Amino acid sequence: MNSSWILSKITFVYALAGILYVAAWNFKQDKLTKYAFYITAAGAVGNIAGFVLRWVESYQQGIGHAPLSNMYESLVFFAISVAVLYMYVEIRYKKPIIGAFALPIAFLIMAYASLSPDINDKIQPLLPALQSNWLIAHVMTCFLGYAAFAIAFGLSLIFFIKKMGGVHIDQKTSLIPDDNILDDLTHQMVMFGFLFLSVGIITGSVWANSAWGKYWSWDPKETWSLITWFVYAAFLHARLMHGWRGTRLAIISIVGFCAVIFTYFGVNFLLSGLHSYGS
């Protein structure tokens, strides 16, 4: 049994949790959300265990670096971040219906990591230029930011489904957040994500200077990270300075997450640059 085997099984754990959250929404069964939360917690623990085991395996193989150096490893950490952050949101705000969107995202991340033929799950040595302690700070902060943006994306989808009449709102149930809660939660997730993305860009710039001799090179990944940063900066500016709420902010949140997805996947597979090692 190795880390890849453990992590591949986590895919199905997240799938089960997501199914239960969706069933709880559709059938308005609050009890299902309790089971879904416990399964999510089990998945997160297994995900973290697989991540740590992969780190140990890296040292056992004489490679010795944090498992954050390629697409597979970053996907694993992305899924951990989404699951753990979602669990915090559910514990803090008691709105488990958000799991109907957050857990499918975690499932899709792990399914892509484990099942896609394009993803290499082998532990690989770092390129010489990337052998730096900045690896952990840069990658972890970026993906914590991405996870927060993923949760905000899910909240925005809930908002639009409600607006389109796709959900019957029963004020007696605790499953469906009202518009104000959705709006405030989206704002908080974007603020959290924006902070960590900013730190990720800064640490990446410092790392780039030590690895390649300059802080910024307009590499495609750097450029799209900056575009993503500006989209979410526009979200916060519109909310804080102009009082935007509701539909307009939900649209920006969705656009922002599309920018995240292109920064992460599109750049790696469609554009070449200094970050091509990520694929």
Q: What is the pLDDT along the chain (279 residues), one digit of tens a residue?
A: 789 999 999 999 999 999 999 999 888 788 899 999 999 999 999 999 999 999 999 999 988 889 998 889 999 999 999 999 999 999 998 889 899 999 999 999 999 999 888 788 888 888 776 778 888 999 999 999 999 999 999 999 999 888 876 555 444 445 677 888 899 999 999 999 999 999 999 999 998 888 778 888 888 888 999 999 999 999 999 999 998 998 999 999 999 999 999 999 888 777 665 555 444
Q: How many domains in the chain?
A: 2
Is residue 133 situated within a structural domain?
no
Is residue 131 situated within a structural domain?
no
**Same structural domain for residues 120 and 155?**
no
**Same structural domain for residues 115 and 207?**
no
Is residue 136 situated within a structural domain?
no
Distance, CA of 137 to CA of 146 (rounded, Å): 14
Contact assessment for residue 57 and residue 48, using Cβ atoms and an 8 Å cutoff: no
As given in the structure block, the two tokens for residue 4 are 């890849």
How much is the pTM? 0.92
Distance, CA of 200 to CA of 271 (rounded, Å): 21
Q: What was the pLDDT predicted at 273?
A: 57
**Same structural domain for residues 269 and 212?**
yes
Is residue 240 situated within a structural domain?
yes
Q: Which domain holds residue 101?
A: 1-126
As given in the structure block, the two tokens for residue 245 are 């709420």
**Same structural domain for residues 76 and 176?**
no
Q: What is the DSSP letter of 262?
A: I
Of the three residues 64, 91, 126, the one that is the final residue of a domain is 126
Is residue 132 situated within a structural domain?
no
Is residue 134 situated within a structural domain?
no
